[in-house]
Amino acid sequence: MKIGILILIFLAAVLVSSLVMNKGTDDQTISLGEPTLPMVSVIVDDNEVNALPGYTTEMNITAMRDTITPVAATRRLQLNLYSYGEQIQKISYEAYSLDGKDCYLKEKVEEWNGGNSDTESSQVTLNLSRAVDDSIQEAVLKVTLTLEDKDVYYYTRIEQNFNRSARECLNFAKSIHEKTFDKQYAEELEAYLEPNEESDNTTLQTVNIHSNISHLQWGDLNPQVSTDVDWSIKECNTVYTSLLARYQVTCTGDSGEVETYNVKEFFRVRCNAGQMYLLDYSRTMNQIFNGNKQVIDKDGIMLGVTNSDVAYATNKKGTIVAFVQERDLWLYNKNTDELSQVFSFANMEGQDERSRNDQHAVRIIQMDNKGNITFAVYGYMNRGEYEGQVGVAVYYFDDNKNAVQEKAFIPSTKSFAIAEDELGKMVYFNEGQQMLYVLAGGTFYQVSMEDYEQTKLAEDLDEGQYVVSEDGHLIAYEKDGSVNTATEVEVLNLANGKSYTVEANEGEAVRPLGFVAGDFIVGRIRESDKGTTVTGQDILPMYQLEIRDSSNQVLKTYAQEGIYISDVLVDSNMVTLNRLTRNENTYTTAVQDYITSNEERKKNNITLETVSSDVKERQMRFTFADGIEEMSPKILRPKQVVSSKSITIAFDDEIRSDKYYVYGMGELVGIYDKAAYAIQKAEQVSGVVISSEQAYVWEKGNRDLVYSTDVGAFKKADDQTSLEACTNYMEKYDAKRMDLTGCSLNQILYIINKGRPVIAMTDASHAILLVGYTTDDVTYIDPDTGEGKTVDTATMEAMVAGSGNTFIGYVK
């Protein structure tokens, strides 16, 4: 799934600390092997939930928030350990603060029961009395299993569940899940739906709370659940509980063959006085491509029910296509009548849940005209040499040799979702030139795979000084100066080695902003435009944007009299411009503007199209314009080669700047450098916003209807502005300042509900402090008069509109 990410924060800064060469004498052919690591799950009110994967390296505590486990009033937590034959020598556990700075407890398990067979589980009870109490509402639990040759680590958040309803919410979600498979419950389930145009009732691939009852109950597919249903608790508070179910189903397809699908089902549920409410629901089903089935016909390759955003590459003649479906990489060669499963972590039967772990992705870096593929696997490594690690593995598939060769591995201590953003596009390998490119710690490296020589193409790059294209093959970086003073930007195509330079006009600077459809977006800056925002922050906006093609020719220029641009957001082919207006040296937020690119893929013999059938409804197919004659290709599963020329790059991945993480629908859906942008996204997905230190910045729907911070009135001093008076008052909270410009008043109320007032600007020179609210009005203090006032919500919205909804919030 592609995530719209703020281009200016593309990668978290990381520091390269070592480069280790794995040199051997001869290449060896190996198998990935079966998964070996034990699994751990937790028991919550007699329900087994939160199956935790094992990590073979200690992970960054702040990145380990995939699940949350409610702890009962006894402060005891039961774990189920599945050893899969591994001998567990010792069990220990620790609990940390969400930011990882404080360790609340360190304990060992003295005894546990159970065997070491593949089917048996061991039961372990943890005493968490010092990890969750009245002063510690939430923490991160780390469980360590010591095996014969290594330690394996497991992580989940834990919280008090004394007055919460996790069990009721889980049982309710399970009931809905089960009833979707039984048509007799149609009328009961329909009462929970909110059908409208927000849902597409022509597809079974995505179903949500706005779908009709037929699609909620799987249409005419008649699926059968073929695996255990893996339930995870994603969020749990006094207002709602978010749950995610993962499982597989089998269905009889259009050709009469049994097909297998991966399913993810999300629930946001509320329990109030024994009454259950379904606040949100979403389900996706994606067909697992199976080359042994009848997937090829005279028209092309049938992918079936799957996401329309299929990653693929074709050769120029339109006879070879490589594609990724459900994290499996496939290659079809019409010339040789061969279908190759180039890479897959899922084992052949797909029954081992460890091999089905979906916390990784595959990216096609490049494919040549012969069908040789350079690709990257990033995220959690389910099995193989790097089992239990998170990182990016770069591979090269030689079609002629039917072999996959490892080129490099870059480890991380972050979760898959964060590593996907920070590492997924920072690594590029050019097989023809035998060059590996790595962007890390503000340094852009070029590594020759022939002699391992490292060249630093750029150093000391801060965020905002470089951007990378969505597919990773284009990079632009400032060659001199800082973010606001660079006079040259180098644009480099890593696929062919070609580059060009964009220069600033005399006395000006240039800033790289991003790529759209392969074209480069650059901003132009004048020193004379330096000023401050209405919140008092220094700013040097851009007066003009340019979009340039690969020949460095200007395709489009954006400039408007009296309008300036602070930054941009790029999401696929849409560019959102965050604009400002100027009054002397003060800038105020203006209405956003947009630039779109309508570029389509170049015409090819192979096209990705949608087709429909009565039973499966909308499906995806690779259509060959000239058709396919041989419809029973040879199925190949390439061997993996351990190369003598593989390298491992390890680095310290500490984040040097503030980030805001948006979690929704049970997953990380975006990373931003401005809290306001993150809140807007969280509003769309009914999610939460978390800071780099794991502090809760904002949550959808989780606030009191009436709240007051009990702040006493205060008045500004004679030598103060109203903004300075508000800022000085907020110093007592010892919290970090956040720019919330652009948020709605309703969104701001959550911040106040956390006990921290919010500064609001009514115009460029007047600030007030919002201190409380009810369902109908808002209370504030005006430092100019020293008075506290209460106005209705509509009046307050009109007051803050004069500054473009400029707010300053605080988070601890």
The pLDDT tens digits for 208-240 are 999 999 999 999 999 999 999 999 999 998 899
**What percent of the chain is modeled with pLDDT above 90?**
72
Interatomic CA distance for residues 808 and 433, integer angstroms: 50
What 3 state SS string does 50-65 have?
EEECCECCCCCHHHCC
Compute, in degrees rounded to 10, the torsion defined by CA atoms 7, 810, 239, 175: 20
pLDDT-derived band of residue 653, with 50, 70 and 90 as boundaries? low
* Statement: residue 620 has pLDDT above 90: yes
* Statement: residue 681 has pLDDT above 50: yes
Interatomic CA distance for residues 32 and 35, integer angstroms: 9
Instruction: Write out the two tokens for 340.
Output: 């190759």
What does the chain come to in residues? Answer: 812
Q: Please tell me the predicted confidence (pLDDT) of residue 133.
A: 81
The structural domains of the chain, with segments of one domain joined by +, span 73-160, 166-287, 658-693, 703-811
* Statement: residue 119 has pLDDT above 60: no
Q: Are 436 and 444 within 8 A, CB to CB?
A: no
User: 614 burial class (0-12, 13-18, 19+ CB within 10 angstroms)?
Assistant: exposed
Q: Are 516 and 570 within 8 A, CB to CB?
A: yes
pLDDT-derived band of residue 459, with 50, 70 and 90 as boundaries? confident
One-character DSSP codes across 349-388: S---TTTT---EEEEEEEE-TTS-EEEEEEEE--SSTTTT
Q: Are 3 and 670 within 8 A, CB to CB?
A: yes
Interatomic CA distance for residues 218 and 204, integer angstroms: 7
Interatomic CA distance for residues 154 and 138, integer angstroms: 17
User: 380 burial class (0-12, 13-18, 19+ CB within 10 angstroms)?
Assistant: buried
The mean per-residue pLDDT over the stretch 260-281 comes to 95
Interatomic CA distance for residues 250 and 228, integer angstroms: 13
**What percent of the chain is modeled with pLDDT above 70?**
92
Sequence-separated (6 or more) residues with CB below 8 Å from residue 184 = none
Q: Are 158 and 132 within 8 A, CB to CB?
A: yes
Q: What is the pLDDT of residues 402-411, one digit of tens each?
A: 999 998 888 8
Highest mean pLDDT among 33-37, 411-415, 498-502: 498-502
Q: How many C-beta neighbours within 10 Å does residue 812 have?
A: 13
Strand order in the sheet with 606-613: 300-304, 617-624, 606-613
Q: What is the pLDDT of residues 705-739, one digit of tens each?
A: 999 998 988 999 999 999 999 999 999 999 999 99
Q: Please tell me the predicted confidence (pLDDT) of residue 654.
A: 53
Count Cβ neighbours within 10 Å for each residue of 668-690 and write b for 16 or more, e otherwise.
Answer: bbbbbbbbbbbbbbbbebbbbbb
**Local structure of 650: helix, strand or coil:** strand
pLDDT-derived band of residue 22, with 50, 70 and 90 as boundaries? very low
Interatomic CA distance for residues 757 and 393, integer angstroms: 46
Instruction: Write out the two tokens for 131.
Output: 């990890």
* Statement: residue 12 has pLDDT above 80: no
Interatomic CA distance for residues 747 and 403, integer angstroms: 53
* Statement: residue 451 has pLDDT above 90: no
pLDDT-derived band of residue 5, with 50, 70 and 90 as boundaries? very low
* Statement: residue 330 has pLDDT above 90: yes
Residues 73-160, CATH architecture: Sandwich (2.60)
Q: Please tell me the predicted confidence (pLDDT) of residue 1.
A: 36
**Local structure of 783: helix, strand or coil:** coil
Instruction: Write out the two tokens for 159.
Output: 């919280």
Report, in angstroms and rounded to the nearest whole number, the Rg of the chain calculated over CA atoms: 28
pLDDT-derived band of residue 143, with 50, 70 and 90 as boundaries? very high
Residue whose structure tokens are 């039984």: 182
Interatomic CA distance for residues 527 and 507, integer angstroms: 8
* Statement: residue 14 has pLDDT above 50: no
The one-character DSSP state at 461 is P
Q: Please tell me the predicted confidence (pLDDT) of residue 165.
A: 86
At residue 142's C-alpha, the angle toward residues 137 and 148, to 5°, is 165
Beta-bridged to residue 745, according to DSSP, are none
pLDDT-derived band of residue 182, with 50, 70 and 90 as boundaries? very high
Highest mean pLDDT among 266-270, 435-439, 643-647: 266-270
The CATH superfamily of 703-811 is: Cysteine proteinases (3.90.70.10)
E runs forming strands in 399-434: 403-412, 427-430
The half-sphere exposure of 44 on its side-chain side, counting CA atoms within 13 A, is 27
Number of H helices, E strands in the chain: 8, 60
Compute, in degrees rounded to 10, the torsion defined by CA atoms 458, 567, 741, 809: 0
Residue type for position 617: E
One-character DSSP codes across 588-638: EE---EEEE----PPP-SEEEEEEEETTTEEEEEEEETT--S--SPEEE-P
Q: What is the pLDDT of residues 83-112, one digit of tens each?
A: 998 999 999 999 999 999 999 999 999 887
Question: Mean pLDDT lowest for which of 140-149, 230-239, 414-423?
Answer: 414-423
Q: Please tell me the predicted confidence (pLDDT) of residue 117.
A: 54
Q: What is the largest CA-CA distance in the chain?
A: 87
Q: Please tell me the predicted confidence (pLDDT) of residue 23.
A: 26
Q: Please tell me the predicted confidence (pLDDT) of residue 754.
A: 93
Interatomic CA distance for residues 512 and 476, integer angstroms: 6
Residue 104 vs residues 62, 93, 116, 133, 144: alpha-carbon distances, Å = 15, 11, 31, 11, 16
* Statement: residue 31 has pLDDT above 80: no
Interatomic CA distance for residues 232 and 666, integer angstroms: 9
**Local structure of 572: helix, strand or coil:** coil
Highest mean pLDDT among 592-601, 643-652, 752-761: 752-761
pLDDT-derived band of residue 702, with 50, 70 and 90 as boundaries? very high
pLDDT-derived band of residue 18, with 50, 70 and 90 as boundaries? very low
**Local structure of 481: helix, strand or coil:** coil
- Between 71 and 422, where is the model more confident? 71
Name the region of 457 (left: φ>0; alpha: ψ -120 to 50; beta: rest): alpha
- Between 810 and 421, where is the model more confident? 810
Q: Please tell me the predicted confidence (pLDDT) of residue 599.
A: 63
Q: Please tell me the predicted confidence (pLDDT) of residue 187.
A: 97
- Residue among 362, 414, 417, 411 nearest 387 (CA): 411
**Local structure of 10: helix, strand or coil:** coil
What's phi and psi for 273, nearest 5 deg?
A: 55, 40
Instruction: Write out the two tokens for 309.
Output: 């955003």
Could you tell me what percentage of the chain is helix, strand and coil, using 3-state DSSP and rounding each to the nearest 5? 10, 45, 45
Mean pLDDT of the chain: 89
Q: Are 304 and 259 within 8 A, CB to CB?
A: yes
Interatomic CA distance for residues 108 and 98, integer angstroms: 21
Interatomic CA distance for residues 141 and 144, integer angstroms: 10
Count Cβ neighbours within 10 Å for each residue of 308-320 and write b for 16 or more, e otherwise.
Answer: eeebbbbbeebbb
Task: Classify 166-287 by CATH class.
Answer: alpha beta
Interatomic CA distance for residues 281 and 268, integer angstroms: 6
Sequence-separated (6 or more) residues with CB below 8 Å from residue 477 = 444, 457, 458, 461, 465, 466, 467, 489, 490, 492, 512
Q: Please tell me the predicted confidence (pLDDT) of residue 50.
A: 98
Q: How many C-beta neighbours within 10 Å does residue 505 have?
A: 12
Interatomic CA distance for residues 304 and 253, integer angstroms: 9
Residue type for position 147: L
Whole-model pTM? 0.89
Interatomic CA distance for residues 597 and 574, integer angstroms: 7
